[in-house]
Chain A
């Protein structure tokens, strides 16, 4: 039982309930499943009670418990608030592994894993179409100091993000390469409690990156970045020979990008901190600095921002079996963005973009939803 390694931490849960809402900050609910379903079992305190009963052996895992654990969007807000500084996200990951091992992972989601071996992506799209977003092949599979790892969602679903990243890197004169046979990073498998299935793909990506001679890999998807930075070394048992950065961090630090003359844009924008990039990886300033680099634009913050940002409701593929929760959460976040009066809500995560776009269509909201790199690309 993977969970048992966290016994001390699980026993340490004080049951203070700080994980339900910003206890000191104002009482808004912070956990999308808890906010949606209302029973404690969907929040961190409840999941710790379930975890404790499981490791104590007083209950047996069942489908209801699995539904609650897998409802987690992996937003990390509970961990941010935890009075006892518990590694809640790691504990949930271990719970998922244990539940998956006894066949209790939600079928709606595990079906995403089936095409991964063959197609290298969770959407069942053909592998040969992965690079369809890029014209020409001059950067594919070549040697370069920088690799842009596009990821599955930007490659197949939100291609504007992949294209814009490519355009901005190119405009800045960065010498970069794309992988010839890029495959999924492994995040879906980990998120569904099957990290064992991610190793082959991880090895395949790493071999190509190492072959390219790159010392830096740039990501447009925070989920891929977090997987490379945190999960790959843990699962493969070795450290990476290259640095991993989000494209916003890379651009902000790049003297080549700083020399670019960006065209003026007008209007007011707000920025939605993706949970994985913000709370997860601590990247808060780089996207904001990029937005500020565009002349004529005013950035206004939402009520919940940075470490206390609210999830978009689309993390961890929950949409496949908790669609009403995803819809309610993205609606709530969009409403918060609308209250700023911004013309556009920017983000830096393809999953957040999908959620916010979905809410915009549903609510017929007059606000543009863009990734920060798409926003920058408009100023080239």
Chain B
């Protein structure tokens, strides 16, 4: 890519916000996951929707594909191709409005999840879900674009559930607003307005249909109190039944189940449930008592819940296993080719059994390649479970890396068929294992991509496959 590309982009965003230096380009390849990606040719950092639109128009004219990136905190593969233009959104970090009357916050796409929460918190508000997947350095635009699975999913639902309106730059460069905000005489107060749910088209779309440049998101009053419970079970099926019972009673804000991986420090048992309840003080106590009664009725043993509390307040996964982050995370060169997805709560029994069986079948291979199971953990949603199958490989070993990716594929195939699992996050890592199975839905998605992005400009090859890329 020549210096004319750099100059054209510099004319839009200014010299200081474009780079074709290798030192800069190197840093915009991989995300937090194992998938290798290409090194972009140019990095461009716009500050406004107008600049994003101008960049997209330029890309159409010049025929250069664009890849969009926020903080790249997903684990599923950025899909960046070698030699492309990478549009990085973190300069677009203004928190534009907090509308307490409407219960919304509007922020540019590159605003960091916790920066938004930090603005809300002093007045007693918080974003409607805690940040995507627990990596709170994520941007709001990226989190919505991948529809990340949040903490608190049992009561609060998914990231996308709380989007009120989006501003999107379409692949043609045109800027649109969704929901009630689509009407220029109206405001961003309701997603279910003006016909079809256009926001839904972009939530979880990985930016293939448009670049989300602004998000209006629901906020909530910070609940009065939080309380925590932790329960050990001798049979994982009993733990799942207990979680299902808690779901049926809407007793918990969040339930996390541990069905594999290392046991929590100092605990014995086959499976464990962490339970978080947030509400008004009087309701919190009643709901936690109800959750505890359900766990005990299924043979659960109440255990000290300090790890649960610290997990919820510090957002460090190590606390799910009663372990401080230092010894748990420190300089371990292991990466996680995760497979994760939704199953029904009762269907979780089948999915857990399948992975346990796979684990046993591959005992010798796990030994040979030094593969570890970090977790077989489920975030329980309102009516199902989001199961994370987290294996770890040693980043220093090429054979372990290759085996880790192969294993991910094998797990994905089993889970997306026999395990009856549907992934939430896809990325470049999991999309090839699920998209072709979606039949008419995949056809529709390809048709949408071709129609909306005829030049194949935005994130080509991600989700819908390279056959639609230019």
Contact = CB atoms under 8 A, between A and B. Distances in A.
Contact of A64 (B22, B90, B329): B22
A150 B73 CA distance: 46
A8 interface: yes
Contacts of A24: 114, 136, 314-315
Interface in B284-324: 314-315
Contacts of A15: 30-32, 72-73
Interface in A14-28: 14-18, 20-28
A99 B111 CA distance: 35
Interface in B1-45: 16-17, 19, 21-24, 26-32, 43, 45
B396 A7 contact: yes
B369 to A, nearest CB: 16
Nearest to A22: B114
A200 interface: no
Nearest to A60: B22
A16 B31 CA distance: 8
B91 interface: yes
A38 B395 contact: no
Given A7-B396, A23-B112, A27-B114, A17 B23 contact: no
What secondary structure prevails in chain B residues at the interface with A?
Answer: loop
Contacts of A65: 22-23
B135 to A, nearest CB: 6
Interface string B41-64: 001010000000000000000000
A85 B116 CA distance: 25
A27 B112 contact: yes
Given A25-B114, A27-B116, A18 B137 contact: yes
A187 interface: no
Contacts of A86: 330-331
B428 to A, nearest CB: 15
A23 to B, nearest CB: 4
Given A21-B112, A50-B27, A85 B325 contact: yes
Interface stretch (A41-49, A212-220, A268-276, A367-375): A41-49
B115 A8 contact: no
A17 B333 contact: no
A59 B43 contact: no
B118 interface: yes
Given A8-B396, A12-B333, A27 B23 contact: no
B137 A16 contact: yes
A305 to B, nearest CB: 15
A308 to B, nearest CB: 12
B26 A59 contact: yes
Contacts of A11: 333, 395-396
Size bracket, chain B contacts? 35 or more
Given A27-B115, A45-B27, A38 B17 contact: yes
A11 B395 CA distance: 7
A53 B396 CA distance: 13
A26 B325 contact: no
B326 interface: yes
Task: Name, among B23, B29, B73, B112, the residue most crowded by chain A CB atoms within 10 Å (CB to CB).
Answer: B23
Contacts of A249: none
A46 B115 CA distance: 21
B118 A26 contact: yes
B129 to A, nearest CB: 16
B332 A12 contact: yes
Given A25-B114, A64-B22, A84-B330, A39 B135 contact: no
Interface string A96-118: 00000000000000000000000
Contacts of A307: none
B278 interface: no
Contacts of A8: 331, 333, 396
A9 interface: yes
Most chain B CB within 10 A, of A9, A39, A67, is at A39
Contacts of B23: 41, 50, 62, 64-65, 67-68
A297 to B, nearest CB: 28
Interface string B127-169: 0000000011110000000000000000000000000000000
Contacts of B237: none
B71 interface: yes
A83 B326 CA distance: 9
B217 to A, nearest CB: 15
A36 to B, nearest CB: 10
Given A18-B137, A27-B118, A49 B26 contact: yes
Interface string B86-104: 0000110000000000000
A100 B456 CA distance: 45
Interface string B327-339: 0011111100000
Contacts of A28: 115
A23 B136 contact: yes
Nearest to A27: B115
A40 interface: yes
Nearest to B32: A15
A84 B115 contact: no
B32 A16 contact: yes
A39 B26 contact: no
B27 A39 contact: yes
A152 to B, nearest CB: 32
B26 A20 contact: no
Interface in A163-218: none
Contact of B331 (A12, A62, A67): A12
A14 B32 contact: yes
Nearest to B30: A15
Interface in A52-87: 53, 59, 62, 64-65, 67-68, 83-87
Interface string B399-420: 0000000000000000000000
B73 to A, nearest CB: 6
B331 A41 contact: no
Most buried by B among A17, A37, A84: A17
Given A39-B19, A84-B330, A85-B325, A26 B28 contact: no
B135 A16 contact: yes
A52 to B, nearest CB: 9
A26 B334 CA distance: 28
Nearest to B329: A84
Contacts of A87: 331
Given A17-B71, A24-B314, A62 B32 contact: no
Contacts of B315: 24
A51 B50 CA distance: 36
Contact of A21 (B28, B30, B137): B137
A39 B30 CA distance: 15
A18 B73 CA distance: 10
B337 to A, nearest CB: 14
6 contacts: A12-B331, A17-B138, A20-B71, A38-B91, A64-B23, A86-B330
Given A22-B114, A53-B26, 16 more contacts: A8-B333, A11-B333, A15-B31, A17-B73, A17-B135, A17-B137, A20-B71, A21-B115, A23-B136, A27-B118, A28-B115, A39-B45, A46-B26, A49-B29, A59-B22, A87-B331
Query: Can you list the 4 inter-chain pairs with the closest CB atoms, starting with the nearest?
Result: A27-B115, A26-B118, A11-B333, A46-B27
Interface of A: 7-9, 11-12, 14-18, 20-28, 37-41, 45-46, 49-50, 53, 59, 62, 64-65, 67-68, 83-87
